[in-house]
Amino acid sequence: MIRLRSLTGFGRDDRGAAAVEFALLLPIILVIYLCVVEFTQAFMVQRRVAHATSQVADITAQSGQVTKATLNSYFDIAQLIMSPFGAAPMQSKVTSVTRMDDKNIIRWSHARGLSPDTVGDEIVLPEGLLEKDGDTLIMSQSIYAYDSPYDIAIPGFPDYLSGLTTFSRQFYLRPRDVVEVSCLDC
């Protein structure tokens, strides 16, 4: 009879219920928190890639003449903008395009981590960027392969999630002070 009473008392005892509920909810709360942190990190990288790409186009469009060394320093600036995120995954390209005979022709191109466009080739641009012959623009492109910090922090992080996101941006700007930005050694 004593055993039956202790079992009945055990069923009515609610001490520790909050601890059990907390233990059941903690993994769910942690997963939600880590997902929010990961999304925020990826969003910050995406915004920095856009900013770095626009800055390369802007600085190049302000120049009258550039060289490969000058363009490499612009790419260095883009990599500094990516700080505190790694600069190694950043690939950049800057290209000058001119409208000639109703075609968009590549005048020069320089890249870091990507293949430069071939001079003289025709390139497809969004409608309305170059409307008449002689119009020129600077096209800046960047690709950034975002790798989650959870790859290092969580051993066994699923492979299908790591390296999943690649950010790619393009900006088009017209030269500011000259008709066409020229590259002396591209």
**Higher pLDDT pick, 160 / 97:** 97
pLDDT at 75: 95
Neighbours of 28 (CB within 10 A): 9
The single-letter code of the amino acid at 78 is A
pLDDT at 54: 96
Tell me how far apart the terminal alpha carbons of the chain are, to the nearest angstrom: 96
The whole model's pTM is what? 0.79
The single-letter code of the amino acid at 96 is S
How far is the C-alpha of 89 from the C-alpha of 126, rounded, in Å? 27
- DSSP bridge partners of 92: 112, 142
Q: Where are the alpha helices (DSSP H) in the chain?
A: 2-12, 17-62, 68-81, 150-153
Confidence of residue 4 (pLDDT cuts 50, 70, 90): low
pLDDT at 163: 52
Closest CA to 52 of 142, 146, 176, 166: 142
pLDDT at 8: 61
CA atoms within 13 A on the CB side of 131: 1
Q: Which DSSP letter does residue 172 get?
A: E
Give residue-wise pLDDT tens across range 144-184: 988 776 666 555 555 555 556 788 999 999 998 899 999 99
b/e 124-138 (16+ beta carbons within 10 angstroms → b): eeeeeebeeeebbbb
Confidence of residue 186 (pLDDT cuts 50, 70, 90): confident
Closest CA to 150 of 133, 167, 137, 163: 163
Cα 91 versus chain centre, distance: 10
* Percent over 90 (pLDDT), the chain: 54
Q: Which DSSP letter does residue 115 get?
A: P
pLDDT surpasses 90 at 142: yes
pLDDT surpasses 70 at 5: no
Provide the mean pLDDT of the chain: 86
Give residue-wise pLDDT tens across range 9-36: 556 667 777 888 899 999 999 988 988 8
Element (H, E) at 97: strand 90-100
